[in-house]
Structure 1
Amino acid sequence: MDMLELPVLQLPALSPLTVNAASSVFGFLSIFLCYKALVARQLPSPWGLLQLILRPLTRRYKAWAYLFWGPEIIQKAFDEAGGKPFELFAPDNRYVYVSDPQQIKELDHAPDTVLSLQAASKQMLQPMYTMHGFNWFNTRGTEGVGFIRALRTLLTNNLPKILPDLTCIIRTRFQELHAEHPVINGKKQSDVYHMTVKLVVLSNAVSFFGKDLAKDEQFMVSALAYIEETLICAEIVRLLPSFLSPIVGNIIARRLKSHAVIFNRLLPIAQERCLERDAAKLGQKVPQHADCIQWIMETSPKNAPWTPQRVVHELMAIWFGSVHAVSTTVTFAIHDLCLHPEYVEPLRAECEAQYGDFERTGTGLPLLDSFIKESARLTPVESQSTRRSALKPFTLKDGTHVNVGDWFCTPVRAIMTNPIDYPEANTFSGFRFANPELVKSLENGHGSFDILQEKPTKLTDVDMKFHVWGTGRMACPGRFYASAVMKVILGQVILNYDCKLVNPKARRLFTWRSTILPNPSTKIVFTPIRGESEAINV
């Protein structure tokens, strides 16, 4: 696992004008604080005065430092807290982290009108500016929660119909992307993160909207750009003073085109589906569709069906979450295949024997499942999970308090590397979560692997020790689909290529706030284990 190191800052020489200005500010603060102390008849000592001056400056520095070194700051605070809640500040927020299972349950049981995942997501993504004016409510369920059934049940149940075609599409597209990459020092070098994002965008387009829309080049280009544009735009708006956010947000929204292209391309389809819905209610015969557009529409509230615009807005929000999380997780898993080649042989044997069953059921491949879960444990997309924004003041049973606008959350990365719950917590053990009997059986020809967890668990499981999908009743409803797509992409890599990092010692990741992202410049050599025209079809 890479250790995140704090860079040494090289500060430029200060001009006399800058020094004079800083001295003036410092002097003004000193005079002001002395005046306040005199009024209160409590004149501090020189050291006390210095502390009064530096305290707010130190707090602001720490808040801005959180943007650059969030995961390390969270880990340090978690270690010092000893299992108790702790608070951290970002420039725009106060975060209160809890890791005790009982306190996490308190968060889960709190009413949505008090602690809101919706409000936290709204602050993170700024959908008014990034999702074509989508202004969702702060309280979950105000407009219905049918999308949960659409993702958790309908999309999951449809996996056996999706996966066979998706496998062929991903295998072919991987070959096309690989063929485009440059040959350096006699070997093709692939920008693995960009490659993976394109594969996930294609997977989601096929699964959510069907093959026809996936062939629309303009839509696909915008769908790819939309992820990065959303992240950048939302972050700029979050860091601005509140009076500037609407002005700058609207300017950025007008200049970024991807969200408008996606909205305008999906809207006519949603309008047609809504007309068909109304016609069906009158007893007319209408075409049958099996895609996310249809499922989102059908699971909207019966007494107040969503408009076509509302359906498209929901699809845009789902699209962002699915592409961002899946592509990052798959990229880090490919890194781990390169760093731990001893796992390739048993994983390849499993895929050759069982991939067909996985396609037909949407489940299975337990060794690959464990490998992805272990990769996600050590390099999760987020170091912060279970986000709840306080719509009203709220106090835990131990007295921990948040005011309106503060967030409760869990330090997911720190929890998942806690040696109390995970033996050899900072060591990559790809089959950690597989059935111990299955791992023992690999000794007959596939090497020996340590058994560190006696109880097998799945990638899609949600519990108090693994928060990748969130916790409790708010856990991600699309995790079964996401897990299947991860297995499709990684399965095609394992079945058809040997992979090697061009520079194993180079930094593979970077952080922003609590997010951990792959370094886009990381390159991998994918070597076909047979001619690419003979890629295995299991």
Structure 2
Amino acid sequence: MSPQPFASIGLSESAGLAFGFLAVVYVGILLQQGGLRKLGSIVHDFSNGRYYKPWKTIDNFTVLSTKKHIAELSEASVLSQKAVYADMFGFKHTMNGIDHNSSDHRVIRTRLYARLLQVNGPVYLNGLFPLLKESLNKTLQVELRNGRQVNDGLSISVAPTARRLASKLMAVVFYGDVLASDEDFFEALLKYPKDMIKCMAAFQLTPSWMSPYMHAVITSRGEAMHKIQARLRDIMGTGRKTWTEPEKTKTLTIAHNMTQMTDDSDYWDPELLSQSLLGIWFAAAHQPWMFLDFVLLELCARQDWQNAIQEEIDTLAPSNYDQLEKLPLLDSFIKETVRLNPLDKFAIRRKALEPYTFQGGAPSVPKGGTACVSAYDLMHDTRHYPSPNSFQGARFVPKNTAAPQSKFTEISEKFPVWGYGSLACPGRLYASLIIKIIISEILIKYTIRLENDKERTKWYWESFTMPYESTRVVLKERHHA
């Protein structure tokens, strides 16, 4: 078994050995239950880059497809978004004991997140743009110094670079430049999502009674989690007045605004605020960098589209957020990349806290069961996507210039990447801004290609798509006329 998949999610040598031991035990069990045929299937799956959760089976898994069912799935109070991911990522351990298997106070939390990120958040995007651009330029130069010279440019590892660039900008959005520039804190911000992914894999491989022990080993007893939460409790509690972020930029941050919006609440306190922001950070830090990675890989594979987007950026020269949003080809290319490379082939996952039957009498989801949609099927539906398996970078650019564009951040049952209904991702505008500002800055300065165009770039765990850490791209400086 190659150690490459474990390295790509950042497993330490000891954790990798633990996984290896568990894999041997599991293979032994399978041999007892199904003989060489099952072993052959495992070998075939691993050799073809497919990785499944072998210990736990998916029972009571209901996949929906109609718009009516999707809307009901998104809004039913006993179908919990948080509970399904609490099971998957072990929030009891990875989010310091927070309880997500309850519908209590769901409305309070949902309203806060929506107001914070979706209603009030866009107001700050123009103000954040110059801060993010400045932070990007500094961070990119640091990353490039870690590259290696090749014949026609500079070679860098795309996944670690994408992770650090996107996470740095997202850290500025969440916590301001002072905390984002604190190397110890930033390394914890990078480590925490990695810990979550490693725990997800470990929890699927092991019986539930082993979860706290696996979490302790993999995360060094939650070192990154506790480090982040301690700082958040401070700036969202007793240390608010001594937080050293300049007032002009502090007022743009999610941490500051989340605290301001909950000042008069009896429900929210610094402990709960810090836990909740920790959870938002995981989603915000994990998804954008992976989208960014896949977009960079598609640009490398499609030189003609890379040239076309560079021409669009050169011509329109975006210098603020509003102008960046007026790059139709860039937006369409990103959306088409995500359509063909969803992070999870299933979307809008919900856990039934109680037995639930959809209107019309079917389907029924038992307590503890999961309902979801197939993002893959919806985004390959020929009724909405002609030639769905072909990459069309301008697919979402309207033929009629007067017609509105189907934007990357649009909420639709045809594009369920962001979820649906009232629980659709409220931070998608931040994610889009960060992806676009990084892509545009790179393409203004460089052409990019894969260092080895025959190398694998992605692998799969269950329904999740993961980038290899080892994939390298070459950046060649552009010479503008």
Using structure 2 for the length normalisation, give the TM-score: 0.82
1 CA distance for matches of 2:372 and 2:67? Answer: 12
**Which residue number corresponds to residue 415 of structure 1?**
378
Q: CA deviation at 1:430?
A: 0.6
Between the aligned partners of 2:124 and 2:239, the Cα distance in structure 1 is 19
User: How has the CA–CA distance of structure 1 residues 357 and 215 changed in structure 2, closer, same or farther, with 3 Å as cutoff?
Assistant: closer
**Please, which of 274, 277, 287 is the counterpart of residue 315 of structure 1?**
277
Q: CA deviation at 1:386?
A: 0.7
2:456 is aligned, of 489, 503, 507, to 507
- The Cα shift of 1:234 comes to 3.2
- Tell me whether 1:126 sits opposite 2:83 in the alignment: no
The answer as to 2:149 corresponding to 1:183 is yes
Equivalent residue, structure 2, for 1:403: 366
1:498 aligned partner:
447
Quote the residue 1:449 is aligned against: none
Please show how residues 250-261 of structure 1 align to structure 2 within 5 Å: 250=216, 252=218, 254-261=220-227
Superposition map of 1:111-190 within 5 A: 112=77, 114-139=78-103, 141-142=105-106, 143-145=108-110, 146-184=112-150, 187-190=153-156
Paired amino acid for 1:191: S
Q: Would the aligned equivalents of 1:163 and 1:362 in 2 still touch at CA under 8 Å? A: no
| Per-residue CA distance 1:22-79 (angstroms, 9 max, x = gap) | 99x78xxxxxxxxxxxxxxxxxxxxxxxxxxx7xx99999999999999999xxxxxx
Distance in 2 (alpha carbons) for counterparts of 1:406 and 1:511 = 23
Are the aligned partners of 2:50 and 2:459 in contact in 1 as well (CA < 8 Å)? Answer: no
Q: Choose the corresponding residue for 1:331, options 278, 288, 293.
A: 293
Spell out, residue by residue over 1:381-428, the C-alpha distance to the aligned partner (whole angstroms, 9 max, x if none). Answer: 111101110111122335322211110011102221222321111111
Output the CA distance in 2 between the equivalents of 1:519 and 1:288. 36
Contact 1:66-1:90 at 8 Å conserved across structures: no
Inter-CA distance 100–183: structure 2 relative to 1 (3 Å threshold): same
Q: Residue 457 of structure 1 corresponds to which residue in structure 2?
A: 406
Kindly provide the amino acid, as one letter, of the partner of residue 145 in structure 2: A
Residue 294 of structure 1: aligned partner: 256
Change (3 A) 1:117 1:524: same
1:435 is aligned with what amino acid?
A: P
Listed one character per residue, the Cα deviations across residues 496-516 of structure 1 (whole Å, up to 9, x for unaligned) are 110011122222111112111
Alignment of 1:97-108 (within 5 A): 97-108=63-74
Could you tell me whether the CA contact under 8 Å between 1:129 and 1:233 is conserved in 2?
no
Percent same amino acid at aligned positions? 26
Residue 366 of structure 1, aligned match among 325, 328, 344: 328
Deviation sequence 1:234-282 (CA, Å, 0-9, x none): 3323443233334544555553421122112222111136679xxxxxx
- Cα distance 1:430–1:345, how it changes in 2: closer, same or farther (>3 A)? same
Q: Note closer, same or farther for the CA distance 1:72–1:197 as it changes in structure 2 (3 Å cut).
A: closer
The one-letter code matched in structure 2 to 1:289 is: T
Q: Is the 8 A contact 2:30 2:38 kept in 1?
A: no
Answer whether contact 1:370 1:459 (CA < 8 A) is retained: yes
> CA–CA distance in 1 between the matches of 2:312 and 2:473?
23
TM-score between both structures, scaled by the size of structure 1 = 0.74
**Alpha-carbon deviation of 1:226?**
1.2
Question: Are residues 109 and 64 of structure 1, via their aligned partners in 2, closer, same or farther at CA, if it must alter by over 3 Å?
Answer: farther
User: Do the aligned residues in 2 keep the contact of 1:159 with 1:362 (CA within 8 Å)?
Assistant: no
Unaligned segments of structure 1, at least 5 residues: 1-19, 27-53, 74-88, 277-286, 440-453
What is the count of residue pairs matched by the alignment? 444
| Mapping for residues 51-130 of structure 1, pairs under 5 Å | 91=57, 93-110=59-76, 112=77, 114-130=78-94
CA distance in 2, matches of 1:502, 1:22: 39
Q: Partner of 2:232 in structure 1?
A: 266
Name the residue aligned to 1:37: none
Corresponding residue to 1:432 among 391, 395, 402: 395
Q: Secondary structure at the match of 2:316?
A: helix
**Partners in 2 of 1:520 and 1:22 — Cα distance?**
30
CA contact (8 A) 2:318 2:324 kept: no
SS at match of 1:244: helix
Larger radius of gyration: 1
Matches within 5 A, 1:29-68: none
Q: Which amino acid aligns with 1:418?
A: D
Q: Which moved more, 1:306-315 or 1:185-194?
A: 185-194
| Cα pair distance change 1:178/1:90, threshold 3 Å | same
CA deviation profile, 1:211-230 (whole Å, cap 9, x unmatched): 11111110111111111111
SS of residue matched to 2:418:
coil
Using the TM superposition, give the Cα deviation of residue 139 of structure 1 relative to its aligned residue in structure 2, in angstroms.
1.8
Whether the 8 Å contact between 2:49 and 2:459 is mirrored in structure 1 is: no
- Cα distance in 2, alignment partners of residues 331 and 404 from structure 1: 37
1:350 CA displacement: 2.3
Query: Residues of 2 paired with 1:246 and 1:518: CA distance?
Result: 27
AA in 1 matched with 2:190: L
Residues 95, 407 of structure 1: 8 Å contact kept: yes
SS of match in other structure, 1:297: helix
Q: Which runs of 5+ in 2 are unaligned?
A: 1-27, 243-248
Distance 1:299 1:63, change over 3 A: farther
The amino acid across from 1:123 in the alignment is: D
For the 8 Å contact 2:216–2:222, the answer to whether it is kept is: no
Deviations 1:109-155 (A, max 9, x none): 42x1x211121121122222212333345327445331221111222
Which stretch shows the higher mean deviation, 173-182 or 200-209? 173-182
Q: Does the 8 A contact of 1:99 with 1:415 survive in 2? A: yes
Q: How far off its partner does 1:346 sit?
A: 2.8
Structure 1 equivalent of residue 202 of structure 2: 236
